[in-house]
């Protein structure tokens, strides 16, 4: 079985409040970018049950394979329900730590794939509950449809919004942004106008009303990320923003843009939405 775990972007992000447990409540709109995907192969083979052979290629993953979220997804199911022996190979294309949800997507797609190996497959709600144990973004990729995320991002409300016909350009300059650092110095406060209302406005209204609160703390520390956003607007983007806690910035265009030479040294992805 071969799957294509896709990226996502955040259309706006409001840091609502700091919670007693040290986490923050947010409100954001997750939007899947199905043109940018990793490649995940999962097959069952003869071998010792509840064991996995995992390999990876593509972009380097700076962690022990045992710490990979795909392996953790397998062990989560194996420990609770029992699993056949599995061989799994992950080819990474989505940059890591880039605000694009690549690792979360890999884990969620691995769960969905291996759910088919169970004698009694789990429901969507059960899969989402398991996905949350792997990461706050993981439940979104179980349904993989535009959704408002609240709480830590795991409380999902599907939204009827489509950007079909537009183009998206993703630019990642390879800057590592610590999520902890991104939250540091933030001023949590609910927006007067919730994201769900803003995204129903015409796209031309988004630049003045839809923002990512993380930009306020990340841009002063990493001015290059802000300059990329400014250049996307100078290219004619209808809306541009940093995704998640960064460092990827994206621009949404009415027609296919030409990638400027200034972006050639960065990771870029251009596709129709």
- Polymer length in residues for the chain: 273
8 belongs to the catalytic site:
yes
Given a contact cutoff of 8 angstroms between Cβ atoms, the answer to whether 101 and 132 are in contact is: no
What token pair was written down for 157? 């409300």
**Cβ neighbours around 57 below 10 Å, total:** 11
For residue 22, give every residue at least 6 positions away whose Cβ sits within 8 Å of its Cβ, in sequence order, or none: none
Contacts of 130 (CB under 8 A, 6+ apart): 73, 76, 77, 111, 122
Which residue among the candidates 106, 137, 213, 229 is catalytic per the annotation? 137
Instruction: Name the active-site residue from 8, 92, 112, 229.
Output: 8
Helix (H, G, I), strand (E, B) or coil at 183: helix
Annotated catalytic sites, by residue?
Answer: 8, 137
């Amino acid at each position: 079985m071969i799957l294509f775990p896709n990226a996502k972007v955040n259309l706006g992000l409001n840091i609502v409040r700091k919670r007693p447990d040290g986490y923050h409540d947010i409100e954001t709109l997750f939007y899947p970018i199905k043109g940018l995907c990793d490649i995940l192969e999962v097959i069952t083979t003869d071998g010792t049950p509840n064991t996995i052979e995992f390999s990876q290629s593509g972009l380097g993953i700076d962690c022990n394979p045992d710490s990979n979220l795909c392996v953790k997804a397998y062990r989560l199911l194996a420990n609770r329900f029992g699993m056949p022996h599995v061989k799994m190979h992950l080819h990474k294309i989505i940059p890591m730590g880039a605000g694009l949800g690549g690792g979360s997507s890999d884990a969620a797609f691995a769960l969905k794939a291996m759910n088919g190996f169970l004698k009694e497959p789990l429901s969507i709600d059960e899969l989402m509950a398991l996905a949350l144990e792997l990461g706050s973004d993981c439940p979104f990729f179980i349904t993989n449809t535009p959704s408002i995320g609240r709480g830590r991002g795991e409380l999902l409300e599907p939204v009827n919004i489509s950007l079909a016909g537009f183009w998206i350009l993703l630019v990642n300059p390879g800057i590592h942004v610590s999520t902890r650092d991104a939250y540091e110095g933030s001023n949590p406060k609910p927006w007067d106008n919730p994201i769900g209302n803003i995204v129903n406005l015409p796209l031309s209204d988004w630049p003045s009303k839809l923002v990512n609160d993380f930009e306020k703390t990340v841009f002063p520390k990493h001015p290059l990320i802000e300059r990329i956003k400014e250049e996307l607007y100078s290219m004619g983007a209808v809306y541009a923003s940093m995704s998640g806690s960064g460092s990827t910035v994206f621009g949404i265009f009415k027609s296919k843009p030409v990638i400027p030479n200034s972006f050639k040294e960065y990771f870029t992805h251009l596709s129709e939405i």
